[in-house]
Amino acid sequence: MRPLRTDLKTLHLLQFVSDGGHRRMIGAGLNVTEARHRLARKIFLGQCGELRQHYREGMEYQLGVLGLALNSVVLFNSLYIDDALKQ
């Protein structure tokens, strides 16, 4: 018999509460995600944080470009930090 979704949530919560390493790993992942979202908001504020397109495909295009800009900034920072560490 497969465990119910509620059972999986309960098991996850028990592991989260009892295992400090698991809790730190989840916290680190959340910090990375929140930092990426903060960067996205800063980049997106160039248009005052608004989707300017009035149709769905235009909004999807605008969000896709935001993702590309985010990935470019992350790549640049990674390469820059790598060069700094090598020196």
Task: Walk along the chain (87 residues) in steps of 10 and give the mean pLDDT of each run.
Answer: 70 86 89 88 70 72 84 93 93
Q: How far apart are CA 62 and CA 51, in angstroms?
A: 7
Domains of the chain, by residue range, sit at: 1-49, 51-87
Fill in the DSSP letter of residue 49: T
Q: How far apart are CA 69 and CA 72, in angstroms?
A: 5
Residue 57 pLDDT? 77
Q: What is the pTM of this model?
A: 0.59
Residue 46 pLDDT? 62
- Indicate the length of the chain as a whole number: 87
Distances (CA, A) of 3 to 10, 11, 38: 11, 10, 37
